[in-house]
Amino acid sequence: MRRRLTSRERSRGSARAAAVVALLVLATSAAGLETILGQLRLQLRKLPIEAPSGLKFQSIPKDPPGWETMRDEVMSAEGMEELGTQNYVTRWYRRVDETGRPVDPPEVLQVHAAYYTGMIDTVPHVPERCMIGGGLEYAGASRVVHVPLDTSRLALDPDDRPAEGQPRLLTGRNNRVPFRVRLPRGVEGLEMMVTPFKDSDGRQTLWAGYFFIANGGVVASANDVRLLAFKLKDDYAYYAKVQFMSGSVASAEELGVLAAKFLDEVFPDLMQCVPDWTDVEEGRWPKDNPRGAKAKAGV
């Protein structure tokens, strides 16, 4: 005679059946999602990418016109591990006149740049985090300011075909980079996030600001880096933090002006240290770019 199942046994059996069904649904959904992503050419995982020149940020010039290096700051192995990259530079510059003498009053600027590539998750080491952790205090609120580049020194990229609503690409060059280098799209409206800090006794105010170059564009907010560098149809992802700090300025706007003076001379050098995103989008870089293979196959 067949034993009748108890209510508890029936409940356990139903739970197991529901679990099996759920696993089947998840498996089917995962397979379906993978198929859909493939059909739409969406990439959830991003490939790392480096500059075709092989140059790192340490290569930016120590004595661009109007500037001279005071000193470099070199991180320990532990510091680089915390920073999350070995491709960085932290260098103190000061403004000099035509004779090479420091300007009076002094204009001193710390320049820090760091490069990251691959999966974009968190954006580390913005001044609001690391300077407070280093013992400084806020001296005011963070705000975004314009970085007034001298756009008369730039030229339009004649090969650029922007999508509707996108700004045209600008190019720059200097005596170290004599050929035209593409700058980030939208650089004519460059902005950076600036925060004032003071030491514990309040005797000095330091102004620190930064922006990000990511997948061929620029943003002033750490939160916006993911939106720019993690587009679903991109195979690759990178971002570079470019940061400035000075105690020689009296406002966020003055830091923006001083940073612009530096970038007017050095932006082409910076862009030699990151991928040309037009070449990436059109499949020319890197050599194993999936878009290049698809273009050759007529896909």
Of all helices (H) and strands (E), which one includes residue 21?
helix 7-40
Residue with tokens 């050098």: 269
pTM listed for this prediction: 0.82
For residue 275, what pLDDT is reported? 98
More confident position, 20 or 181 = 181
For residue 14, what pLDDT is reported? 54
* 30, 135, 230, 233, 296 from 293: Cα distances, Å: 27, 51, 22, 16, 5
- Digit-coded pLDDT (tens) for 140-197: 999 999 999 999 999 999 999 998 999 999 999 999 999 999 999 999 999 999 999 9
For residue 23, what pLDDT is reported? 46
For residue 199, what pLDDT is reported? 83
Would you give the DSSP letter of residue 251? S
For residue 88, what pLDDT is reported? 97
**117 near 56, Cβ under 8 Å?**
no
What the block records as the tokens of 74 is 């070199």
Its sign, for the CA torsion 269, 273, 279, 280, is negative
**281 near 166, Cβ under 8 Å?**
no
- Digit-coded pLDDT (tens) for 247-293: 999 999 999 999 999 999 999 999 999 999 999 999 999 999 999 86
**246 near 207, Cβ under 8 Å?**
yes
Greatest extent of the chain over all pairs of C-alpha atoms, in Å = 108
Picking from 250, 240, 277, the residue whose alpha carbon sits closest to that of residue 111 is 240
- Digit-coded pLDDT (tens) for 213-246: 999 999 998 888 888 887 888 999 999 999 999 9
For the cut 60, the answer to whether the pLDDT of residue 30 exceeds it is no
Residue ranges covered by each domain of the chain:
11-41, 57-159+168-281
Is residue 258 classed exposed, middle or buried when 0-12, 13-18 and 19+ CB atoms within 10 A define those classes? buried
For residue 222, what pLDDT is reported? 84
The average pLDDT across 84-105 equals: 96
Phi, psi of 20 (to 5 degrees): -65, -45
What the block records as the tokens of 69 is 């290096």
Of all residues in the chain, the percent with pLDDT exceeding 90 is 66
For residue 53, what pLDDT is reported? 96
For residue 286, what pLDDT is reported? 96
Residue 236 forms beta bridges with which residues?
47
